[in-house]
Structure 1
Amino acid sequence: MLGFSESNTYLSLLSDSITDSVDTKEFWVNMPNLMSHLKRVAEQKPQATYYNVDMIKYQVSTEGIQSTPLNLAVSWRGDLTNTDLRIDYKYNTEAMTAPVPLHNIQFLVPVDGGMAKLQAMIPPATWNPEQQTIQWKIPSLSHRSENGGVGALLGRFQMTEGPCKPSQLAVQFSSEGCTLSGCDIQLVGTGYRLSLIKKRFAAGQFEYQKRV
């Protein structure tokens, strides 16, 4: 499901459902409003060489594991004294219109139960004693990575107040050069041109499949 919304009331972005088709949606801008808005911005920032104006925002709603560029599964096992954590991840090319690397991937997991000692971290991870969280970082991941972007993060903790309760896994990453929606933009008409189009997506927090 794809939903559009006007992001800047100054521009009076308009659309007409009559001209829409299954694959396209047309919008046009009230140019006098746009020019007035740019004039005000120029007066506020006279030293700027260009100005960014948000034109449109849209949301894409999809379901299923194949809709996410990074598939995850988390397993917690433990007793009163020890906890084992395993995070399986898989780079998913099917979620993107064109495979692009995921950058600055961060896995953040809260660990309760009075963690006394990190017995093993594969690969190495960072423990934050104040927030009681463990964090793994992967600089980049793609289908060209080792094992096609498939791997696992392993942690073993010695506990003083176990057993540890399974917690929510937060994952962040970003990517350039592609969108998950497959939406593209085309400027129709004379007198104007698109000098640059940037495509980017980023993730804040994933829900994961939990196995205990």
Structure 2
Amino acid sequence: MHIQERMLSPTVVEYNYSLGEEFHIIHDALLQKDTRVYQQQQQQQPKWTTVSPSITSINQNLRNTPIASHEQTMSPLTLDTMDQIPLAIAFQEIIHVMISGNNQANWKSQIVGEMLISFPASILNLLIDPSHISNRLQFQLKNLHHIKNIIAKPSLITQNESSTDSNEPIYSFDMTELHNTLQNLQEKNLSSRFFNLNVLNYEVTHSDVSNIPIQISSQWTRTFNTISVNIKYSFNSSALPNSIRINNDTVIFYTIVTDGQEIKESSPTAEWSVNECKLWWKVPYVNNGTGNLSATIITMEKNTVDNDSDQQQQQPLTTSSIVNAYFHGENALFSSIDCDLACNGYRISLLKKKILSGKCSKIKIE
């Protein structure tokens, strides 16, 4: 029996992120705690309060986020004009890596990041108040030694001209534009409790393309009615920050077998998605660990004009897919970017930092 073999080593590691459900649960719990404390402290004082309808989140998966509160008819936070507005801030960094062959000169990598701010629903009422409109929301970026190409959302924030230190620039919100943006989100969905806004994007300098979190090579072998996939991987823990916590201590490896039907055998045990033709493994993350993944997939038999059995068994490997690795880590960034508020009337109630993997682009193998 003749078998066509081809050595392939395309690998993509990317990171794509939106504020996770736990981000909102924690933030909401903090806001409810703030509400109780504030109500106790201000119980004897006259105050102007209003209950705002819940506001939409950019992440539609969060519209049913559970809230640990018995007051389900209340907004997650009731504020008056004298209170500080709590903001949740998230930095997320996404690494894109393409490994093609063993020549590291042909490898490509890029790290991009973004800053997101989550606003509570009640902020809309305060933005109508003249005192808050005049008190512009401002923040200062810090630790930008490994940051380049910062792009702020031009319609929403601008860099202060008085901010002369390029390593610690200060950005200011256009409060009218902020109000309009949040109001538009509210009109789209009245049931969400928070607004998530992307305020800026940036790149992280990454000079050593070989120093990447995961290295992968793969070999594909095809017979008349099967495709075998063999993957070798190695984790490079030195490419990740020491403080990182890999979610569930797990990395997911997956690839697409377009004409696959089911798994014949695999080691370790793999999963198969019929609808997506996706073959995947969940692998425990071990510092500097290495391993092998293999699977044989039964494919759709193709009709042939030639009845010769050898001709039927000899099928050229005309297509193959990228082997992808996915993980995300908490409590760390590739860069050391940070921020502080540079104004009164606001405070940071939650700061999240996350590294993520993301989508993969298809490569044509000649």
The interval holding the TM-score normalised by the smaller chain is 0.5 to 0.7
Residue of structure 2 equivalent to 1:96: 240
Residue of structure 2 equivalent to 1:122: 267
Residue of structure 1 equivalent to 2:350: 196
RMSD: 3.8
**1:99-129, Cα deviation, whole Å (9 max, x unpaired):** 42333633221236x6577443111112345
TM-score (norm 2): 0.43
Report the Cα distance in structure 1 between the residues aligned to 2:273 and 2:190, rounded to whole angstroms: 45
Task: Name the stretch that deviates more: 55-64 or 152-161.
Answer: 152-161
Residue of structure 2 equivalent to 1:181: 335
Task: List alignment gaps of at least 5 residues for structure 1.
Answer: 208-212
2:159 paired with 1:14? yes
Q: Report SS of the residue matched to 2:198.
A: coil
State the identity %.
Answer: 20
Cα contact 2:268–2:293 (8 A) shared by 1: yes
- Superposed, which structure 2 residues align to 1:155-170 within 5 Å? 155-157=295-297, 162-164=315-317, 165-170=319-324
Cα contact 2:217–2:231 (8 A) shared by 1: yes
CA spacing shift, 1:102–1:150, aligned 2, 3 Å: farther
Cα contact 2:261–2:274 (8 A) shared by 1: no
CA spacing shift, 1:192–1:153, aligned 2, 3 Å: same
Report the Cα distance in structure 1 between the residues aligned to 2:222 and 2:182, rounded to whole angstroms: 66
2:219 paired with 1:65? no
Cα contact 1:8–1:54 (8 A) shared by 2: no
2:150 paired with 1:4? yes
- Superposed, which structure 2 residues align to 1:45-84 within 5 Å? 50-60=194-204, 62=206, 64-66=209-211, 68-69=212-213, 71-78=214-221, 80=223, 83-84=227-228
Q: Which has the higher contact order (CA 8 A, sep 6+)?
A: 2
CA spacing shift, 1:33–1:141, aligned 2, 3 Å: farther
CA spacing shift, 1:121–1:39, aligned 2, 3 Å: closer
Task: Name the stretch that deviates more: 95-104 or 193-202.
Answer: 95-104
Q: CA deviation at 1:3?
A: 1.9
Residue of structure 2 equivalent to 1:151: 291
Q: How many residues align?
A: 197
CA spacing shift, 1:88–1:186, aligned 2, 3 Å: farther
Q: Which has the higher helix share?
A: 2
2:275 paired with 1:135? no
**Structure 1 residue corresponding to 2:171, chosen from 28, 48, 58:** 28
**Structure 1 residue corresponding to 2:183, chosen from 15, 40, 48:** 40
CA spacing shift, 1:51–1:166, aligned 2, 3 Å: closer
Q: Report SS of the residue matched to 2:183.
A: helix
Report the Cα distance in structure 1 between the residues aligned to 2:182 and 2:322, rounded to whole angstroms: 47
TM-score (norm 1): 0.68
Q: Report SS of the residue matched to 1:94.
A: helix
